[in-house]
Chains A and B, each alone.
Chain A
Amino acid sequence: MLPSIKKFLGRLPMRALAVLALAIMASFWAHAQKPTPAKATEDLPPGAMQAKATTSCLECHEARIILQQRLSKAAWTKEVDKMVKWGAVVDANDRDALIDYLSTNFNPDQLQYQAPRTSTEKGSAGKISK
């Protein structure tokens, strides 16, 4: 503990110390109980193709479908070409750069993507009538 804080705490009456301890505990408890909201939709990582990938892919998909993939360049090439066939707008001049961007950021060497959970509401699981 820093000497100045120790000195400050040493001057406080016992009652104030107890209140301080209680306030810290209450604050911790309240904070720990209330999960920080996660973003409903994610962003793609920075890079030269971030904006174009966002326009081309996130028109239909949410970013997590991309963030969770761990694919080789060959597999990304197949996916990009399939999506273009299915309506994704990718300028022919950008195709290779887009494939590079995806395979640089989402390849088999990357750690697995950790998906968030949906909120939990007490009792929301409901009853099952048999």
Chain B
Amino acid sequence: MADITSRRDFLKQVSGAALAAGAAPSMLAWALPLQGQAVDVPGEDGMILRSFRFVDLESPVEYFNTWLTPVPHFFVRNHMHEPSELSAEDWRLTVGGEVEKSLTLTLAELSKLETHSVVNTLECAGNGRSLHRPQVPGIQWGKGGVSTARFSGPRLRDVLQRAALKSAGKHVMFRGLDEVPGKVPPFIRSIPIEKALDSDTLIATHMNGAPLTKHHGFPARALVPGWVGAASCKWLTEIKVLETEFAGNFMNPGYRFPNQPGKPGEPVKPEDTHPLTSLNVKSVISGPSDGGSVKAGALHVHGAAWAGEADIVKVEVSTDDGATWNPAKLGHEQAHYAWRLWSFDWKGKAGDYSVQSRATDSQGRTQPQTAVWNPSGYLYNAIDQVKIHVA
């Protein structure tokens, strides 16, 4: 693309009449859509900017076309400021609490442990929050607070075993290096010991074969596969084994779900809630785009489906507003905690359509017509829908 200098030089060479063309950019300013505007966030590519501080970036659904999400397209969720200083040399991970032998590990020491890889679909618990009615406070995620990557690093259980777990230890707490503003409670959460000792729960140092980037928790993060993203603490610096669940804001009242669906908009008593763990069954249509217009004829509907700790067994597509459903073809790439890409080929005649997708998992769960409303807008998983015009 011509830069400004060469464009100026070019304009100098043309006649006085042609110089009038210099007015074109200002004339165009009103005609060009705002979508041309973009904010520079180094390392991130074409993401939806939900918040610049703290950094919260959503993947546009059209990025859901590769099984593994490239890191610059992977959603970013931060509760606080990212650590201002991170050094691979100075970083330490401490392991304490209900263990016989407290540990302090350097990154070099952690890297010497056996590495394990898990392809995991990570989804923010609040993904889809903007679609709940009535609306609830929080990051107003659309459909793209979810991405998939191959995470690698030592197993958490190998580290816990080196520290010699005591039998009293029932929960494992993670603390990250996030910088806490004001009197905000620190972002500390815990997971039950059974999940901590699962062979797929990691202290991840790599993502898609490269060291974690800062936005994704460099140099190490917890990776709790199949669970809401909040379980996978970034910039991990402390692991503490506890007798009971960690008592802090981000365990209670944060990140909890009603035991029973209530009336939308009605408050839920804290004692009638439980901590969020595994993700729901869910599918999203990545194309055609919602509100788009496509040519009549052979149409390709595609998307991704995931189910936390369960496996996707079926995705169905409706092209008639949910009256009839057709099986979609599932992509061949699969892993226990990873999404399945899916597609459905359809011959569309001219008209307006509501195209919908619904997934069913190995636990027999199917996406509902309406997601369970809850005061924090977690786990939105209603049948997905795009409206398209076929011409």
Q: Which residues of A contact B (CB under 8 A)?
A: 8, 12, 16, 19-20, 23-24, 26-28, 30-41, 59-62, 64-65, 68-72, 75, 78-79, 85-88, 108, 112-121, 124-130
Contacts and interface: CB of A to CB of B under 8 A. Distances in A.
Nearest to B265: A72
- Judged by DSSP, the binding face of A is loop
A88 B168 CA distance: 39
Contacts of B7: 26-27, 30
Given A19-B18, A71-B135, A75-B136, A128 B209 contact: yes
Interface string B18-35: 101110110011001011
A26 B47 contact: no
Given A35-B38, A37-B37, A116-B38, 20 more contacts: A19-B14, A23-B11, A23-B24, A26-B10, A30-B1, A31-B24, A36-B32, A38-B37, A62-B52, A62-B53, A62-B54, A68-B130, A70-B140, A71-B136, A115-B48, A119-B38, A119-B45, A120-B45, A128-B209, A129-B209
Contacts of A118: 38-41, 44-47, 49, 57
A4 to B, nearest CB: 13
Top 6 closest pairs, chain A to chain B, by CB: A87-B182, A129-B209, A38-B37, A23-B21, A87-B183, A125-B70
A86 B184 contact: yes
B68 interface: yes
Interface string B50-67: 111110011010000010
Given A31-B28, A85-B183, A116-B38, A64 B50 contact: yes
B49 A117 contact: yes
A17 to B, nearest CB: 8
Contact of B39 (A34, A38, A61, A78): A38
A108 B134 contact: yes
B378 to A, nearest CB: 16
A62 B51 contact: yes
Given A19-B14, A85-B183, A126-B71, A116 B2 contact: no
B281 to A, nearest CB: 26
Contacts of B209: 128-130
A30 B9 CA distance: 14
A124 B42 CA distance: 10
Nearest to B140: A68
Contacts of A60: 53, 181-182, 184
Given A26-B2, A32-B32, A120 B18 contact: no
A64 B48 CA distance: 12
Contacts of B11: 23
B210 interface: yes
Contacts of B45: 118-121, 124-125
Given A60-B181, A87-B183, A128-B68, A23 B46 contact: no
Given A23-B18, A114-B34, A119 B40 contact: yes
B56 to A, nearest CB: 8
Contacts of A128: 66, 68, 70, 150, 208-209
A20 to B, nearest CB: 5
Contact of A27 (B25, B54, B130): B25
A65 B21 CA distance: 41
A34 B15 contact: no
A117 B10 CA distance: 32
Contacts of B351: none
Contacts of B140: 68-70, 112-113
21 contacts: A27-B21, A31-B32, A32-B28, A32-B32, A32-B36, A38-B37, A41-B52, A61-B53, A64-B49, A64-B51, A65-B139, A69-B137, A115-B48, A116-B37, A117-B37, A117-B38, A125-B45, A125-B72, A125-B73, A126-B70, A129-B208
Contact of B25 (A31, A61, A71, A119): A31
Interface string B301-314: 00000000000000
A101 B243 CA distance: 46
B301 to A, nearest CB: 24
A127 B34 CA distance: 30
Contacts of A32: 28, 32, 36
Nearest to A121: B45
Given A27-B7, A118-B44, A130-B209, A40 B38 contact: no
Nearest to B50: A115
A32 B27 CA distance: 12
A113 to B, nearest CB: 7
A20 B181 CA distance: 56
A25 B276 CA distance: 55
B17 interface: yes
Nearest to A27: B24
Contacts of A120: 38, 45-46
